[in-house]
Structure 1
Amino acid sequence: MPDPSSGEFKRRLVHASGTGLPLLYVLDFVTWRQFGYVMVAASVVTAVLEFFRLVVGLDWRIYDELTRPYEQTNLAGYALYMFSITAVALVFAPYLAVPAALMLTIGDPVSGLLGTTREAGEPKRPRTLAAMFSVCLLVSVPYLVPVAGVAVGGIAAVTAALAATAADGFTPVIAGYVIDDNASIPPVAAVAGGVVLALTGAAPVIG
């Protein structure tokens, strides 16, 4: 296994710590509606921090530690992370939104630590993608099978995991802007799983 740089390891550690957010709901500390409020508040704070970093020019050392070179003049990964989780929490039912968030907070760090650091636009290796898919499937099955049954719930879980793995495996660059997987993993996973539920009528998609 490659030895990740100190900065990369810190980024992954911060990434994984975000699992505490959906756990607030999973462990019944807050209701689903309250969780949405928590995420909106977190996104507002994040947006303010990014405004000061990108517009005002706030130069904290932690930004150098936790951002990659291509994020210096774009929204940082942690901001896209917050915004994407907030979006799925506000739109989708919890059995779609929670695993979609966990695919980002758990699956992405695991695949990142298993793979070498790569440039934007460079795909990940098959073994790394396999690990990402496995983690995504493991976090989605417990949520989708109970509400949709083994057959439909299993298909929805596999579909969501495949979508998240595809988003994680390749980070396209469009017109010079990096489409970060922190922004894409939760929504594509929730949409993919939601399509299966909607087509079969197994469970409501919107939260």
Structure 2
Amino acid sequence: MSASPVESLPRPSASELKRRLVHASGTGLPLLYVLGFVSWSQFGLVMILCSVTAAVLEFVRLVVGLDWAIYDELTRSYEQTNVAGYALYMFSVTAVVLVFAPHIGVPATLMLTVGDPVSGLLGTTREAGEPKRLRTLGAMFAVCLLVSAPFLVPVAGVAVGGAAAVAAALGATVADGFKPVIAGYVVDDNLSIPPVAAVAAGAVLAVAGATPVFA
């Protein structure tokens, strides 16, 4: 008897679940701004501090050679000798927050902190260069559209804001779906999702002239 669709779904490992939970916990960062605890410029300073901290930790890990057991749980095999995903996560979010306006930067960040963990849990862990399945990409697109529309539609209207949300969701989905290898280095989706989504949304808004794009 063949397995049912539910039974055939990949089951993430315990370490994968831990990575995804840590990943999703980053949603608390943009919520600092959304809930009014900090201004957008102050949030940029928070992200700079996070990026500096991540850079120091990665220097200690990769250059000094001091490795903690937690890295064995939260990093993948290809990150053992490369900058880890959590640091790329901080760097990419920081860049987006410093460059783009809040209605672009917040959803671009949420696509990484919410969309990517959902996508990761639905799909099996990929090797470098291996694309995700269509059903996983579809789920990623749906989540990204849901988190972007509430920020883009109110500032640019249903037509333009909706188009920007779709463009951002498509960009994030493509960035999530493929991990190209350039000169032997894996381009991690933690690095690519926020800027690709932000550029896609910003391009639509800039062409329409509907609302400011940059911070």
Normalization by structure 2: what TM-score?
Answer: 0.96
- The offset of 1:3, in angstroms, is 1.0
Match of 1:95, SS? Answer: helix
The one-letter amino acid paired with 1:150 is V
User: Based on CA coordinates, which of the two structures has the bigger radius of gyration?
Assistant: 2
Matched, 1:35 2:43: yes
Partner of 1:85: 93
1:6 and 2:21 equivalent?
Answer: no
Question: Does structure 1 residue 192 correspond to structure 2 residue 200?
Answer: yes
Q: In structure 2, how many angstroms separate the alpha carbons of the residues matched to 1:38 and 1:203?
A: 25
Q: 4+ runs of 1 displaced by more than 4 Å?
A: none
Q: Matches of residues 141-156 of structure 1 in structure 2 within 5 Å?
A: 141-156=149-164
The 5 A counterparts of 1:48-127 are 48-127=56-135
Stretches of structure 1 that go unaligned for 5 or more consecutive residues are none
Shift of 1:24: 0.4
- Letter in structure 2 aligned against 1:69: S
Report the CA distance between 1:59 and its aligned residue: 1.2
1:58, 1:146 → 2: CA distance?
48
Amino acid at match of 2:10: P
| Alpha-carbon distance in structure 2 between the residues aligned to 1:91 and 1:76 | 23
Match of 1:133 in 2: 141
Count of aligned positions: 207
Query: Match for 2:211 among 181, 203, 206?
Result: 203
- Please give the TM-score of this superposition, normalised by the length of structure 1: 0.99
* Amino acid in structure 1 at the alignment position of 2:207: L
Identity of aligned residues (%): 79
1:162 is displaced (CA, Å) by: 0.1
Whole-angstrom CA distance in 1 between matches of 2:86 and 2:152? 27
Equivalent residue for 2:34? 26
**How far did 1:117 drift?**
1.3
Distance between the aligned counterparts of 1:25 and 1:197, measured in 2? Answer: 22
The Cα shift of 1:63 comes to 0.6
Matched residue SS, 1:205: coil
Give ranges in structure 2 of 5+ residues lacking alignment. Answer: 1-8
Distance 1:157 1:45 in 2: 32
Structure 1 residue 120, shift from structure 2 partner? 1.0
2:129 is matched by which residue type in structure 1?
Answer: G
What is the root-mean-square deviation of aligned Cα atoms in Å? 0.5
**What CA deviation, in whole Å up to 9, does each residue of 1:105-125 have, x standing for no partner?**
000000000001111110000
- Residue by residue over 1:86-111, the C-alpha shift from the partner in whole angstroms, topping out at 9 and shown as x without a partner, is 00000000000000000000000000
